[in-house]
Amino acid sequence: RLDAAPTPGATRVNVYPLRYADAPSLVRVLSQLVGGPAPPPAEPRPHGSSLARGGMLRTESALGYDGGLGAPPPAAVPPPAQPEPASAGAAAAIPLAAPVRITADPATNTLIVSATPEDWETLRAVIEKLDVRRRQVFVEAIILEATIDKLRSLGVEFQAGTAFDGHRALAQANLSLPPGGALADPTSLPGLILAAASNHMVKLPDGREVPAHTVLLTALETDSDLNVLSAPNIVTTDNEEAEIVVGRNVPFVASRATSATNLQNLFTTIERHDVGIMLRMTPQITADDFVRLTLFEEVSDIDPTSVGDPTQVGPTTTVRTASTAVAARDGQTVVIGGLLADTLRQDERSVPYLGKIPVLGALFRKRDGRRMKTNLLVFLTPHVIASDEQMADTSVEQRERMRAAMPKALGRRPELAGPSWQPRGRGPR
């Protein structure tokens, strides 16, 4: 009785180890193919040991999540309700003779299929066509930013003071500094300074003494150029999202608590945010070697002209973003975004009416002008990598670029190891 032919149509358990495809993702595709409900997407695996997290092995199936190793799930997390298996041919894209059960084991990247031999052969042919090596994309990004900032300041500032009968009087015009500050030492002011002061001194209520009559002629022009060149590179698989972040983690003041009685600072909550260059993209390779890039790019930096006290409100950041989808051939360079900003600001401080007098009005006013231009360009060049040889060539090329750039910073040529990849049949035996 034991040496008997298998029963026709009997269900068997088949194990199929995948080479390239992701088992949980493939289960969701096959579940829709056989007519069963697709399991929910797998949650991202947290970092650290599974023992420290107190979790247990769980696998996905066409009917939901199955408890791993036959153990029941924890009581705190009840398993989701499992519907009945899909009947043969019910809403299925392929004809099946009996209900099929498909489970994924993420630890070994293996599919476990419970089906009849006939149905298994049908599913196996589909799995073999899906379990193929996908091509990869190497994207070179160049981010160019040029900023030109010009500042001009020209004007006359003066003050006059006197004391009589124990009283003091002080008058000033166009002064951007408090009395007794830089006026006491005009050499501390930047730019061209012409100053004149009388010998008579006036004592302020705080005890400081300032000249009774002071006149300042200031002329200042500042030019600053900023050029930023960033070249982040990243490699990803076809239809897989990739992200690269190059920058700093800057603290920001989130909240502050003070005492209602003495207004003392009790505590301050600090949040940290990334500031720099962030590039997120998803490439899709077409049959004719076109690469469709769906990407999001962000360039942020700390603005030196902060609003308020940075120690109280935190730094001010400048953010420039671009979100788009472009298509380019293998090795073709495209420009995904450009930003040209031209800012002109003029400030004037003057004595009412006197500053409007022709010619003589220049003695009663001060003008500040600032012009800033910013130009931002982003270039992208995708390269399709279809073989190990192309990956090795790309690695060697990037290594040589770094080797050529390092002497400028280190003053010597660094020693870098060669690529570990070797063609078949040429390696050591």
Q: Residue 244 has what pLDDT?
A: 87
| Whether pLDDT at 320 is above 60 | yes
Q: List every span in the chain annotated with CATH 3.30.1370.120.
A: 12-42+55-133
Is 72 a residue whose pLDDT tops 50? Answer: no
Q: Which residue has the higher pLDDT, 421 or 195?
A: 195
Residues paired with 144 in a beta bridge: 229, 377
> Helix (H, G, I), strand (E, B), or coil: what is residue 1?
coil
**Residue pair 170/202 in contact by the 8 Å Cβ criterion:** yes
pLDDT confidence band for 254 (50 / 70 / 90): confident
Stretch 165-185: mean pLDDT: 54
CB 173 within 8 A of CB 266: no
Write the secondary structure of 185-246 as one string of H (helix), E (strand) and C (coil): CHHHCCCEEEEEECCCEEECCCCCEEECEEEEEEEEEEEEEEEEEECCEEEEECCCCEEEEE
pLDDT of 425: 44
**pLDDT > 80? residue 163:** no
Q: Confidence class of residue 292 from pLDDT cuts 50, 70 and 90?
A: very high
Q: Are the C-beta atoms of residues 289 and 331 closer than 8 Å to each other?
A: no
**Contact (Cβ atoms closer than 8 angstroms) between residue 320 and residue 368:** no
In this predicted structure, what is the pLDDT of residue 23? 92
Q: What is the DSSP letter of 386?
A: -
pLDDT tens profile 336-377: 766 677 777 877 777 787 778 887 777 777 788 888 787 778
pLDDT on residue 103: 92
- Would you give the end-to-end CA distance of the chain in angstroms? 53
Class of CATH domain 12-42+55-133: alpha beta
For residues 115 and 86, the answer to whether their CB atoms sit within 8 Å is no
pLDDT at 249: 86
More confident residue, 46 or 386: 386
Q: Which residue has the higher pLDDT, 284 or 398?
A: 284
Of the listed ranges 86-95, 239-248, 400-409, the least confidently predicted one is 86-95
404 near 412, Cβ under 8 Å?
A: no
Mean pLDDT of 193-215: 62
Element (H, E) at 108: none
Asked if residue 31 lies in contact with residue 37, where contact means CB atoms within 8 angstroms, the answer is: yes
> Is it the case that residue 129 has pLDDT exceeding 60?
yes
Helix (H) or strand (E) holding 23: helix 23-34
Highest-pLDDT range among 55-64, 247-256, 287-296: 287-296
The partner residues of 257 in beta bridges, in order of sequence, read 267
Q: Is the pTM of this model over 0.75?
A: no
Angle between helices 117-130 and 23-34 (to 10 degrees): 130
189 near 182, Cβ under 8 Å?
A: yes
Mean pLDDT of the chain, nearest integer: 72
